Amino acid sequence: MWTANFSSISFGTGCSGKDGAIITKVNKRKEGKIFVKCAVNTKTQKPDKAVRIGVLGASGYTGSEIVRLLANHPHFGISLMTADRKAGQSIGSVFPHLVSQDLPDMVAIKDADFSDVDAVFCCLPHGTTQEIIKGLPKGLKIVDLSADFRLRDISEYEEWYGQAHRAPDLQKEAVYGLTEILREEIKSARLVANPGCYPTSIQLPLVPLIKANLIQYRNIIIDSKSGVSGAGRGAKEANLYTEISEGIYSYGMTRHRHVPEIEQGLSDAAHSKITISFTPHLMPMNRGMQSTIYVEMAAGVTIEDLYQQLKISYQDEEFVILLERGVVPHTHNVRGSNYNLINVFADRIPGRAIITSVIDNLVKGASGQALQNLNIMLGYPENTGLLYQPLFP
């Protein structure tokens, strides 16, 4: 029979425990305590929206995903949204699934007033972002979802993105926002470069294994698959239904622009240069991403060593979950959520291992991780507003 001992329950930040608070989840993993997380009942309590947020590029996929996530954030309220072609429109007219949101209309960036903004999510195409961020008020906290500040070496940016870097001084202060790996650096950052979706799905399982010297640095082969929303909302012939449905194809063969970003993170973990083979594929699905990673284990290392290392590295993490041995991650099981599910399997070929990793490209691969980072930058519990369970089916 179950008996409940409530003497050890403590309430996490954001949950006052007052009348009307709804208990949504009990999490036993943090510091051996039981934390009860709460959502605010809007009928009885006015949420404390202490932080005023600007969403630049709210009319795009990642911007609208930020708007969706913030609807349940107890401390962040949206005071400004920008668009380009859709400037002047309401969020509900551009995205009918957000019609219940009572928010200001989107404006062009040139007309944006930042005096009521404390922090910004920048959800603009790479290439346009450096110039725009350079012009923002200095006191703002910024999480940039584009690739414009991810590569420390600006000559590498110029090589892979085919254009000069327009804000090299800002690049020096940017912190790479792979939350679970660089949390301490993110705490004090003003500008966070949110990782790309492929690099997120790949680095999260690989970095702990590299740091622990459990895998060889050579012959890392990565095969990734993405939903079409990864390409953004802008109309492109290659992304028409007829071109995408009922088939898959690889793209960016041998030279996808995420290669230097992934190699930068893996090389940092190894303290020596790592090069990879990486091939992304476009899948006939809206959301979701799977990376299958083939590695050679270091001499004397077993698959159980890899499993145990990932277990230790992520046992206290909310959003990175190592599945039970033998269970294969499926993109269905992260849809609409900030979770990254991973697992590791012994290859038939002795000495080799196969790692699989799934995320929702728009959440952990973009807007969810961005919110996790801003929570950290502003001193809130990093899961605030992010406890959406995956949609299934």
Ligand X SMILES: NC(=O)C1=CN([C@@H]2O[C@H](COP(=O)(O)OP(=O)(O)OC[C@H]3O[C@@H](n4cnc5c(N)ncnc54)[C@H](OP(=O)(O)O)[C@@H]3O)[C@@H](O)[C@H]2O)C=CC1
How many residues bind ligand X (CB under 6 A)? The answer is 30
Q: Maximum Cα–Cα distance for the chain, whole Å?
A: 67
Please identify, using beta-carbon distances, which residue of 35 and 149 lies nearer to ligand X.
149
Q: One-letter amino acid identity for 232?
A: G
β 289-296/220-226 pair status = antiparallel
N- to C-terminal Cα separation, the chain: 33
The interface partner of residue 40, options being ligand X, ligand X2W, none and the CB cut-off 5 to 8 Å by kind, is none
From the list 16-24, 121-129, 169-177, 179-187, the region that binds ligand X by CB under 6 A is: 121-129
Is 63:95 a contact under the CB 8 Å cutoff? no
Residues between 245 and 274 that touch ligand X (CB under 6 A): none
Closest CA to 363 of 60, 69, 25, 123: 69
Among 129, 171, 226, 372, binds ligand X2W (CB under 6 A): 226
Segment holding 211, helix H or strand E: helix 197-211
Indicate if 197 belongs to the active site: yes
From the list 52-60, 96-104, 223-231, 371-379, the region that binds ligand X2W by CB under 6 A is: 223-231
Site string for ligand X2W, 111-150 (x = CB under 6 A): -----------------------------------xx---
| Alpha-carbon torsion, ordered 178, 38, 310, 275, to 10 deg | -20
> What is the chain's length?
393
Segment holding 335, helix H or strand E: none
The tokens for 69 are 């996530």
Residues between 175 and 214 that touch ligand X (CB under 6 A): 196-197
Question: Least CB distance from residue 115 to ligand X2W, whole Å?
Answer: 29
Segment holding 201, helix H or strand E: helix 197-211
How many residues bind ligand X2W (CB under 6 A)? The answer is 10
Contacting residues toward ligand X, per CB under 6 A = 57, 59-63, 83-86, 109, 123-126, 128, 145-147, 196-197, 229-230, 232-234, 361-362, 365-366
List of residues contacting ligand X2W (CB under 6 A):
146-147, 196-197, 226, 230-231, 280, 282, 365
Query: Catalytic residue numbers?
Result: 197
